[in-house]
Amino acid sequence: MPIYRFTVSLLTERRCLLATSLGLGLVLASSGGAQELSYNRDIRPILSKNCFACHGPDKAARKAKMRLDVPGKAETAPITERITSKDRREVMPPPNSGKSLTPAQIELLEAWASSGAAYEKHWAFDRPIRPRLPAGTAVPHPIDRFVRARLVAEGLEPSPPADRATLARRVHLDLLGLPPTPAEADAFVDDQRPDAYEKLVDRLLDSPRYGERWARRWLDLARYADTNGYEKDRNRTIWPYRDWVIRALNADMRFDQFTIEQLAGDMLPNATPSQRIATGFHRNTMLNEEGGIDPVEFRFHSMTDRVATTGTVFLGLTMGCAQCHTHKFDPITHEDYYEFMAFLDNADEPDYFIPDALKLAQHESDLAKAQDLVDQLPGKAQAARHGRVSVTLLSSTLRPSIRIHSSTVPWVSRIKTSSDVMRMNLFFGPIDPVSARPNPIGRLSADRCFPAIRERQATGRRGVQGHVLEEQVMADQLRHQRNR
């Protein structure tokens, strides 16, 4: 089943209206178009709103040991008597509850009881069943047959067909979210082929703008944002997940695969980078970077967000209601909620560095440029006599780290800080190459780092690993050389 191509079968401008009705479980009888009584559609909403708080899943709140949410737990005769009673002490819902049934609702409940009080599982647990096509062959497309049957049942006539310019505008806005250009509208108006509309729809479905338009709906469900939220609301790098959703929609990925990759793409055999990126669905939770927070507390908040989102998006359930108590209306216990949370909580959250051929090529280019800069440093020849100088890039931008493999680094002592020169990270390798274990100096400024190295050399403490973090550095000789 494709994910969101709701309109792929739309041959007239009226059909998308029915697609929504079908999604809500509309069942039309094949004879005459009369609606059949449905527990989930007609009865459950009434009971859920007015009765389940006292006679539903929550045993702690249940009264009179009566359940109305499952079959076989209540007699229908007392129910109809209580909802039609004129005695304020007997009528249900009780007046002090602030709830009451309308005459139409009472009529529906009585009709349900007289027809045998058939129950249905919660609609979220029912497998969708393709409904029977209404009788009649005058309308060729199946969706139009449902529309026509409902119109007949309501005593209505179809609207007249839209003119071609209006139709072009409607389908462009529906599929791409953008109106057609004047040239596109004119081309459709002038196209007199019988399948002109179908060709227009196919062309729009093949447009990359289609995925961008319809991805917005899914990204809202996935609570996508480019910032972390909370007090600082800093930027986050999660746009690859957004692009994955767009590509999945444009590729017409099956919904089952769409679901699997977002919930467990990293657990698939030989998971691809794309499948790992898909798991960004559950990395869209807000992130609190405020000082003094308890990380465990906010991990819990992230988990509750993921439980609620998974329940709403994939299960069609309001699972968040069971966080504090057994659900009042849906069949979800307090224990069910935390068992589900434990399943989602059993995961690490590492950062994923996405391989990118273009960025790797840029990295190599930047590496060569950085090496050229190092080659221009004064004292390079002197440093080369004592060791070897190489450059390692930490990112795709020119922030080189200079790794110096040397027992002495005399040219470094001439580097001074300045505010108008390039930023470098300096990493000093072990002074003694034979040393088995590096001994970190710690975070030191440039003017303190080198004396510390020399002191450790003098005392025979071998294996020094020093880090100078993002110092503004330059060599005076380099400046003089530029002046020359």
Contacts for 448 with CB less than 8 Å, ≥ 6 apart: none
Share of the chain above pLDDT 70, in %: 69
43 exposed, middle or buried (CB, 10 Å; 0-12, 13-18, 19+)?
buried
Mean pLDDT of the chain: 74
pLDDT at position 310 is 95
Q: What pTM was computed for the model?
A: 0.64
Confidence of residue 374 (pLDDT cuts 50, 70, 90): confident
* pLDDT tens-digit series, residues 410-428: 333 333 333 222 233 333 3
pLDDT at position 373 is 87
Confidence of residue 121 (pLDDT cuts 50, 70, 90): confident
Contact 222, 209 (CB under 8 A): no
* pLDDT tens-digit series, residues 305-336: 999 999 999 998 999 999 998 888 888 999 99
Q: Which residues pair with 400 in a beta bridge?
A: 393
pLDDT at position 379 is 65
Confidence of residue 383 (pLDDT cuts 50, 70, 90): low
- Return d(Cα 331, Cα 317) in angstroms, integer: 9
pLDDT at position 245 is 97
Q: Dihedrals φ, ψ of 177, to 5°? A: 75, 10
pLDDT at position 402 is 35
Of residues 363 and 407, more confidently modeled: 363
pLDDT at position 75 is 58
Confidence of residue 360 (pLDDT cuts 50, 70, 90): confident
Mean pLDDT for the stretch of residues 99-123: 88
pLDDT at position 471 is 30
- Return d(Cα 405, Cα 427) in angstroms, integer: 10
Lowest mean pLDDT among 12-16, 134-138, 178-182, 385-389: 12-16
Q: Dihedrals φ, ψ of 189, to 5°? A: -60, -40
Task: Give the strand pairing for 439-443 and 423-428.
Answer: unpaired
Distance of CA 336 to the CA centre of its chain: 23
For residue 10, pLDDT over 60 is answered with: no
For residue 396, pLDDT over 90 is answered with: no
Confidence of residue 466 (pLDDT cuts 50, 70, 90): very low
Mean pLDDT for the stretch of residues 397-401: 36
Of residues 383 and 232, more confidently modeled: 232
Contacts for 321 with CB less than 8 Å, ≥ 6 apart: 327, 328, 329, 330, 332
* pLDDT tens-digit series, residues 225-243: 999 988 889 998 899 999 9
**How many residues comprise the chain?**
484
* pLDDT tens-digit series, residues 68-85: 887 765 556 678 888 888
* pLDDT tens-digit series, residues 124-169: 888 888 888 988 767 778 898 999 998 998 999 989 989 999 999 9
Q: How far from 33 is each of 11, 26, 109, 115, 147, CA to CA, in Å?
A: 22, 11, 22, 20, 10
pLDDT at position 384 is 53
For residue 287, pLDDT over 80 is answered with: yes
Of residues 206 and 38, more confidently modeled: 206
For residue 24, pLDDT over 70 is answered with: no
- Return d(Cα 17, Cα 8) in angstroms, integer: 13
- Return d(Cα 289, Cα 63) in angstroms, integer: 46
Lowest mean pLDDT among 59-68, 314-323, 395-404: 395-404
For residue 475, pLDDT over 70 is answered with: no
* pLDDT tens-digit series, residues 176-231: 999 999 999 999 999 999 999 999 999 999 999 999 999 999 999 999 999 998 88
